[in-house]
Amino acid sequence: MRVQIVTPDNAYFDGEATKVVVPAWDGELGVLPGHAPLIARLGHGVARVDAAGGQGKVLVAIYGGFLKVQDDVVTVLAGGAAKKPDNAKVDDAAKAVEKAQARLDEIRQKGKTGLAQLPDAEEQVRRARAFAQLVAS
């Protein structure tokens, strides 16, 4: 089956695969060749693609979006995504999660005066957690 992982500004994977597992909104969703047609809302987490032809496993952090499966083509339309940098460190990713969480906690303590910043801060925490999960993989 063909798998495409794309965002509005980049393509993260485009090739043949034997399996793909993505972070759905309410858990993980696995797709194998011959899967029934499907559209699903994605959450934040790590997409795992078992690339065909002995290319190994491809990991991509996914920041929300949608998945479409049709005619043995899996298309991941992500709101954002990231690949693991060669120099990524688990400690740095964990610190980024802590920093994002601290900012979110600070905004929540402001009460009504912080409401406008709340959705962005929550999104930053979700993205930091997904990236940390990628780095730890």
CA distance 112 to 51: 48
Task: Give bridge partners of residue 11 from the DSSP assignment.
Answer: 6
Q: Using an 8 Å Cβ cutoff, are 111 and 65 in contact?
A: no
pLDDT surpassing 80 at residue 17:
yes
Write down the domain spans for the chain: 2-82, 90-136
pLDDT surpassing 90 at residue 67:
yes
The predicted model gives 113-121 an average pLDDT of 85
Mean of per-residue pLDDT scores for the chain:
93
Per DSSP (E only), the strands in 71-123 are 73-78, 81-82
The predicted model gives 74-85 an average pLDDT of 95
Tokens of 92: 């740095």
The larger pLDDT score, comparing residue 64 to residue 55, is at 64
**Coil, strand or helix at 96:** helix
- Under the banding of pLDDT at 50, 70 and 90, the label for residue 105 is very high
| Percentage above 70 pLDDT, the chain | 100
The predicted model gives 39-51 an average pLDDT of 97
Question: pTM for the complete prediction?
Answer: 0.87
pLDDT surpassing 80 at residue 113:
no
- Return the CATH number of the domain spanning residue range 2-82: 2.60.15.10
